[in-house]
Structure 1
Amino acid sequence: MEPYTEDQVSGSCKYINRDLSWLEFNRRVLEEAQNENTPLLERAKFLAIVSTNLDEFISVRAAGIRNQIKSGVTEKDFSGYSPPGLMKRMIRRTERLVADQYATFRQVSDRLESEGIVFTTYASLSSEQQEEMNAFFFSKVFPALKPIIVSEKQPFPLIASNGLYYSIVLKSAGETSNHEQPTMALLEIPLQIGRYIDVAAPDKKRTFILLEQLIKSHIPALFHERTVIDAHLFRIIRDADLPLEEGNVEDLLYEVERKLRRRLRGAPVRLEIEKSVHPYALEWLQRKLDVYDDVALLEGPIDISYLMKLSQSLTEYDQLRYAKQKPMYPQAFKHQSFFEVLQQRDVAVFHPYESFDAFNDFIAQAARDPLVSAIKMTLYRVSKQSKIIRALVHAAESGKRVTVVVELKARFDEERNIAWAKKLELAGCHVIHGWIGLKIHAKMTLIERREPGGLKRYIHVSTGNYNGQTAKIYTDIGLFTSQAEIADDIGDLFNEISGFLPHRESHVLAVSPTDLRMKLYSLIHREMNIAASGRPARIIGKMNSLSDPEMINKLYEASRAGVKIDLIVRGICCLCPGVPDQSENITVRSIIDRYLEHSRVFCFANGGHPEVWLSSADWMNRNLSNRIEVMCPVIDQGVRQVIIRLLMLQLKDNVKAHQLLSGGKYRKVTEESPYIRSQYMSLAIINARNLPV
């Protein structure tokens, strides 16, 4: 990792740059792929995650910096970087990261081959295998190929972002001079067929060939009148961060659909191409696509995200992946209805250790229950096959009042959310397409039930999305409660969202953009006052990202006041810990393991009477100032104790934790007996619900 120096940050490491911090997070993910103790197919999955993470980073963050440069922005950000200076360092670090990624890919590929999982070339196939692949090519692949001869007199064809293409250098059959300008052609790889093809092998090995390899062997058959001089694979990554023009939008759904069409033509940001490409083809692509500064010549397959699907599909190689861990169904809901349980106590469900089926069943039960009159919930990212959607449709068709806030602006999930919104509207649900100017990122559900004693409200708030697929691999907490104060606040917030009304002060919730930030400041100041009185003061914060400079300054202020602050920040962290007279009482650690750490949990010691809050919000400016987010107190003492135990366990992790040092570098926490791997030890704490802290 390139060390931070004083000329790279503002002051003596006061802030770490957000984008460089994000790249270092991806470096930590890559380390899991490099770790020999990680099961082999899991190493392949981590390589795929690095690939998809980098694609998003380039299409959003790097594209945004590039746009600033084009607009002539030269001002430095709060971490001390100007856009041109930051872009240079981003490209340099990305180059090193990708080089290490492909070196690791080659190591993992060799190990897979030794286990009988082989990727081969067409030339290496036996004659029988070639015949099989020829038949597959002409029946399945050839009809989908559309080669394009590119003339200088015609507009350059649209190249899809993240699509795979061959750039093909051609020479006419009668051409004899080497000085004539070559003819260029493009050929898109039809990825709908699948990135790789299973080849029958007599030795019981699983043998595959990449689709582009099979196509390359048959390219000469596509150009009968010309000679193929060169054919190399490439792709471009386009700017995907196209802002909505929300000022006078009357139909947000239409505007989001229009944005998606524009995304297809976003400016190219990065060109990736096979290393031995013909010089003329490289110059031609750079000129046509106007990409010069971020060009990657790759020694290996372009876009190795296919390793994710591959690792999941090889079911006969379970010995090469983590041992299966079936999520438990929460004990509290096994023998009683949700409503009977929640009339007595709150229940927290901890994903992925406990099953998301509990929430699916909560909504399904509400949809069937004749006493339930209304269901309200927010949807940000939903799985493709969502049981929640089916239950909401059933509830609406049964005559219940169903209100669903579908955030159409959830990046890269826009199309799916538009489809769900239309399906819910057809079923009779009241669908709110988000707010103009604010993303609705809060995760909350309200059930209204007419019981003998009157109207009763049941609530679920979550740190993560209502997505049954990601709940299997993301650590999140879902809180079920019927606490009247929480229910009243959630009910008011839904009414404000559906009525497009400004938020009023809540009883117990904190809501951004109006008061969540100030509530956090208030809780921090309380710890500072406790420290000033000579009593122990402590804050534990767990989140995905910390980049808001005002919040960082507030934490620095608390550190100087004597408050002990322990932060568990998975990804971006712009705070510089351990600096004398600034952050010497602050520690920051990042845990990268089997599951993606995703929950946002904040604990304040409060003089021996700890408070715990769950939230949908990271400590980023966008979450605290430009989104509708919720931070909810954990009132139930038993639930609070379990969450504190889990936080304390993560602070002791010495197997999968990295510590952020004062200079901006991360160091793997040294393994020492007893070994504490928090994700593997969390289940015991979750099962021991009511033990004292």
Structure 2
Amino acid sequence: MPKNIPLINRELSWLSFNDRVLQEADDSTVPLVERIRFLAIFSSNLDEFYRVRVATLNRLSNLNTKSKEILGYNPKKTLNQIKNIVVKQERKFNHLYENIIIKELEQQKIFIINEKQLNVSRGLFVREYFREKVLSTLVPIMINKDEPFPELKDRAIYFFVRLVHHKNKEKYRYALIEIPTDGSNRFLVLPETNNLKFITLLDDIVRYCLDDIFFIFNYDDIEAYSIQLTRDAELDLDKHVSDKFIDALAKSLQKRGKGKPMRLMYDTEMPLDMLTYLVTELDLSADGLIPGNRYHNFKDFIRFPNVGGAALEYPPLQVLPVKGLSSMKSIFGQIAMRDYLVNLPYQSFDYIIHFLREAAIDPKVKEISITLYRLAENSRVIHALINAAKNGKKVNCLVELKARFDEQANIYWTNRLEEEGVSVNYGIMDYKVHSKICLVKRLEKGKFFYYANLATGNYNEKTAGLYCDYSLFTANPLITDELIKLFDGLQKKVFYKGFEHLIVSPLESRKKFYALIDKEIKNVKSAKKAFIILKMNSLTDEEVITKLYEASNAGVKIQLIIRGMCCLIPGVEGFSENIEVISIIDRFLEHARVWVFANGGKEKVFLSSADLMPRNLDHRVEVGFPVLDPDVRKEILDILEIQLKDNTKAREINAQNNNRYIRTSSKVKNRAQKDIYNYLKFKI
């Protein structure tokens, strides 16, 4: 492992990424309801961060005193840094919501009102709604101080309630109420008055009607404060489970909701004695206490109702066709002539569905092989594969059961596929299959021909409308022949070496990536054209960073576009003076992984399912693939150039982690996602 190179801690870098999400909520040029949704994304991201990364750090900090030597940093110190940063971000979050977003909604004649702001008529409306829709879903738990404290569910919202006597304030009782956000709408739109629109939250509906819940008790006041507990979500699995893996995974998923408490979000209005009681009962450390406002699980605000008109949201995207690729002709006949690239979400995911559906009914198609990682809730991909099996095709489907937080859904889809006659492979023990590849075997004039789809993102039509990804169709035998070998290895649960064109983890990605960098170092020393452009979600691998520092010191110009974590520090004398890093956060989530190497003037372009992280390079099955079609290669290079010119939504990644917007002297505002859409539209 390299030592003494400049690095940003990955956890702190991730928090910096989430701060960029918060910047979108603070951007007045973003439509107002979209800003609320960015607040929801920030909150959801932070929940997962605590469930996984903070949980892991807590485990590491409790191992032994040598954890600092092994990791290269002190996990306890990092946990303290995380706490300090998160508290500041939560203050910024609360300020944005309470002092800016709420006021701007009011300017639009939209009012989010709480239980204290309900007038008589709206109060009657709320109470009727509560009694009809909510009351029967509530299960209040009375707390007995002589019995164990009730076990709180992971990420559920609770009211910690105190029932108080006026005459004897020492005589009080505690209770817990879980707010039923899973089965109920979090928002209630109230009757409009004089063109004024009113929305109240389920939380405040319950607050308003607390007396309906506790009417049998003889108490004068009822205090209720919201809390949310985030638990350790990492799974403990027997590494040697084989035939019973699905059962073992299902049991581990049941335990996930009972993991160790990582974070308690609490309403800062809660009295200190109530908070102290909670902390003691939950056995929480000070690091796990995060002050918040009266509303938790802000991720539900992703579904905030737009009652104010179309101008408060991004306009719907009119999905563009891929030039020359017709949905009214055989897709195999078209792919046989040339490669086609689908730019998601600007172009339609329906091309992938069309590819699978045609394969399902085409008499010449004999076999379909595909890897699946994350799937949509009502997956048309799955339906097409089932249809293919019903039509007598051999369908080989590798479903990755260990896809974090999608395990339960993937178990369901595995069972569905098997019931319908699809041959399902559960992946490879200890290695996640993260590749996004599909291969169709077709009999033409007595010979087998192969058609492939390779992608940077999942076969998921829902995320395909939100994530910026590439999906490549090709019949080039340089690629399809190697996919045959790769799928054979996946079926046999073995790793093959010796791919000439594909770049496959876990055995070859690191070696081949280094070789491509070494070629640029050699070329720059020979005064040949040399540069590297890399686009990805995250760059955390220290050996890769060391190699990029080596290339920078040799004089290779390196441009990086990284949405999330970046542990590399650009512009450091003696290490990274030739490296620039930007991050683009905008309407859509940048998800594509692209590698470009100058190669002396004959650019090599690769797309990949892998980020440059240890897990992707060494512990997952990932597939990188060359872009061989010159037209497709030019399109990707053009789009990268557009992204590198962004002076509206691009931020500079630097040692300060300050997410400074990139602003240029140019009077022209370049906004990559908008400009890419126009570029693709102009090509039609």
- TM-score, normalised on structure 1? 0.94
1:234 aligns with 2:227: yes
Percent identity, aligned pairs only?
36
Match of 2:465 in 1: 472
Show CA shifts across 1:186-241 (max 9, x none).
11111111211121122233311111111112223322224244211111011112
SS at the partner of 1:29?
helix
Query: More displaced, 219-228 or 276-285?
Result: 219-228
Is the CA contact 1:273–1:296 (under 8 Å) kept in the aligned structure 2?
yes
Q: Are the structure 2 counterparts of residues 602 and 66 from structure 1 closer, same or farther at C-alpha, using a change threshold of 3 Å?
A: same
Q: Is the 8 A contact 2:230 2:264 kept in 1?
A: yes
Partner amino acid for 1:20?
L
Residue type of the partner of 2:209? Answer: H
Task: Report matched runs for 1:66-81 at 5 Å.
Answer: 66-76=58-68, 80-81=72-73
- CA shift at 1:158, angstroms? 2.2
| C-alpha contact (below 8 Å) 1:161/1:264 kept by paired residues | yes
Question: Which residue matches 1:557?
Answer: 550
- 1:525 is matched with 518
2:384 partner amino acid:
A
Conservation of the 8 A alpha-carbon contact between 1:576 and 1:664: no
| SS of structure 2 residue aligned to 1:520 | helix
CA, structure 1 residues 684+201, in 2 after alignment: closer, same or farther (shift >3 Å)? closer
113-122 or 530-539: which moved more? 113-122
Question: 1:444 is aligned with what amino acid?
Answer: I
Of 45, 52, 72, the residue aligned with 1:60 is 52
Counterpart amino acid of residue 38 in structure 1: V
Per the TM alignment, residue 453 of structure 1 is displaced from its structure 2 partner at its CA by 5.0
Is contact 1:444–1:459 with CA below 8 Å preserved after alignment? yes
Match of 1:211 among 183, 202, 211: 202
Distance in 2, Cα, partners of 1:634 & 1:137? 58
Please name the residue that 1:366 is paired with.
359
Where does residue 299 of structure 2 map in the other structure? 305
- 2:383 matched residue in structure 1: 390
Tell me if 1:679 matches 2:673. Answer: yes
Change (3 A) 1:129 1:667: closer
In structure 2, C-alpha distance between the alignment counterparts of 1:547 and 1:575, rounded to whole Å:
7
- Once residues 406 and 347 of structure 2 are traced to their aligned partners in structure 1, the CA distance between those partners, rounded to angstroms, is 25
Distance (whole Å) between structure 2 residues aligned to residue 316 and residue 36 of structure 1: 17
CA contact (8 A) 2:370 2:397 kept: yes
CA contact (8 A) 1:461 1:478 kept: yes
Give deviations 1:3-31, integer Å, cap 9, x for gaps.
xxxxxx985x7011000000001111111
Secondary structure, in 3 states, of the residue corresponding to 1:276? coil
Larger CA deviation: 22-31 vs 277-286: 277-286
> 1:15, 1:79 within 8 Å by CA — same for their partners in 2?
no
Query: What corresponds to 1:202 in structure 2?
Result: 193
Find the partner of 2:78 among 76, 86, 89. Answer: 86
Contact 2:8 2:655 in 1 (8 A): no
Alignment partners' CA distance in 2, 1:528 and 1:461:
29
The residue that corresponds to 1:452 in the other structure is 445
Which residue does the alignment assign to 1:380?
Answer: 373
* Aligned length in residues: 676
Question: Taking structure 1 as reference, are residues 49 and 473 closer, same or farther at Cα in structure 2, changes over 3 Å only?
Answer: same
| 2:335 pairs with 1:330 | no
How far 1:122 sits from its partner (Å)?
2.8
Deviation at 1:649, TM superposition (A): 1.4
Native 8 Å contact 1:592 1:656 kept in 2: yes
> Would you say the 8 A contact 2:325–2:340 is kept in 1?
no
Partner residue of 2:334?
A: 341
Q: C-alpha separation between the residues in 2 aligned to 1:453 and 1:604?
A: 40
* Structure 2 residue aligned with 1:49: 41
Report matched runs for 1:139-218 at 5 Å: 139-171=132-164, 177-179=168-170, 182-191=172-181, 192-218=183-209
* TM-score of the pair, normalised by structure 2: 0.96
Shift in Å, 1:683: 2.6
14 and 77 in structure 1: CA distance in 2 versus 1, 3 angstrom threshold: farther
In the TM superposition, residue 51 of structure 1 has moved relative to its aligned partner by: 0.7
**Matched letter for residue 308 of structure 1:** I
Contact 1:547 1:620 (8 Å CA) reproduced: yes
Partner residue, 2:252:
259
* Unaligned runs of at least 5 residues, structure 1: 1-8
- AA aligned to 1:544 is N
Give the letter aligned to residue 214 of structure 1. I
For the 8 Å contact 2:342–2:471, the answer to whether it is kept is: yes
User: 1:95 is matched with which residue: 87, 92, 100?
Assistant: 87
Contact 2:535 2:562 (8 Å CA) reproduced = yes
Partner SS state of residue 192, structure 2: coil
Q: Say what the alpha-carbon RMSD is for the aligned residues.
A: 1.9
> Quick one: distance in 1 between partners of 2:454 and 2:190?
48
Counterpart in the other structure of 1:581: 574
Shift of 1:157: 2.1
What displacement does 1:290 show?
Answer: 1.3
Asked if 2 retains the 8 angstrom alpha-carbon contact of 1:74 and 1:83, the reply is no
Q: Which moved more, 1:73-82 or 1:615-624?
A: 73-82
Q: Tell me, what secondary structure is at the counterpart of 2:116?
A: coil
* Inter-CA distance 137–679: structure 2 relative to 1 (3 Å threshold): same
Which residue is 1:462 aligned to? 455
Match for 1:454: what amino acid? K
User: Partners of 2:222 and 2:679 in 1: how far apart?
Assistant: 64
Partner of residue 344 from structure 2, selected from 346, 351, 354: 351
Q: Aligned AA for 2:41?
A: I
**Partners of 1:17 and 1:79 within 8 A in 2:** no
Paired with 2:90 and 2:69, the residues of 1 have a C-alpha distance of 26
Partner of 1:29: 21
Letter in 2 for 1:297: P
Cα offsets for 1:311-337 (capped at 9, x unmatched): xx4276211122222111323222431
| SS of residue matched to 1:201 | strand
2:313 to 321, 338, 347: 321
